[in-house]
Every structure is written in structure tokens, then in C-alpha cells.
Amino acid sequence: MIAFIDEHRDVYGIEPICRLLPIAPSTYHRHAGRRSDPEQWPARARRDAELKALIRAVWDENFGVYGVRKVWRQLLRDGVKVARCTVARLMKVMGLEGVRRGRRVKTPGVARSPATARTHPSQRSRVAIP
């Protein structure tokens, strides 16, 4: 909705658009202020921005081979108190992952019917193909 208001506010104005959409003008103005000023970001967003920089530095220092667990342990050694699940979430958002040994498992995108997805293969009925 914010993007829609940004696109059309020059033509129609903010308040008339907000009257038609289920959004208060103050909500739009608060969001616009947060985009321009990082000091107004929520605490989690500010913390995430700081942690992303630290995670990227640790990951780059180790030639991009560290995974979530090793990056997390290195941050703890450096005195940064952070949860492992937070490191995992941010690394996933950033597209960072560690090196894996062996072949990578690729799961085919085959859609299964609900009946075959929940039963064991030995319990499925076999259908003869003519």
C-alpha cells in the first residue's frame, strides 16, 4: 500500500488515497519517516543492520566457508551476544551459507497427491499399467 501511495500521491494526494484504502495517513507518514531516518527504525531493525555487517565480516574473513554455527560461535568469541537462530535468520536473508561436504541434495519439485504423501510405500496399492 505504501508503494501505491508513493506512486499516486502527486496526482491525488495522500489523505484522499488513505480514505479509500484501509490505512491512516499518520501510518503512512510514520513509515515514510522511518525510511528516510534510520534512527526511527524499530530496535530489531537497527540491531539486524548492525548484526548483518558483523556477520558479513566474519563470513568474509573465513573465505565464505563458515556456516551458521561457526559464525555464531565466532561472534560470541568476539563479545557479541546474539542467538544462533538470529544468525541463521540473517544469514538466510543475506543469502550466505557455509560450504557443505559431499554432494548437495537436490529435491525434485514433484507434486504428490495427499494420499501417497502420507502413506508408507509398502502400504500403497499398486496399479497395473496396461
Spatial CA neighbour of 3 closest among 36, 28, 39, 27: 28
Q: Do 49 and 86 reside in the same domain of the chain?
A: yes
Q: Is residue 119 in some structural domain?
A: no
**Cell 556477520 -> residue:** 55
Whole-angstrom distance, CA of residue 129 vs CA of residue 83? 54
pLDDT band at 2 (very low <50, low <70, confident <90, very high): confident
- Cα 23 to Cα 16: distance, rounded to the nearest angstrom: 11
Residue 27 lies in a domain: yes
Is residue 31 located within the same domain as residue 64? no
Tell me if 82 is assigned to some domain. yes
Is 57 found in the same domain as 23?
no
The domain of 83 spans 43-94
Q: Give tens-digit pLDDT for 45-65.
A: 999 999 999 999 999 999 999
The mean pLDDT value of the chain amounts to 86
Cα–Cα distances (Å) from 34 to 27, 30, 42, 90, 126, in that order, read: 11, 6, 9, 21, 60
Judge whether 2 and 10 are in contact, CB under 8 Å: no
Q: Give the count of domains, the chain.
A: 2
pTM of the model: 0.63
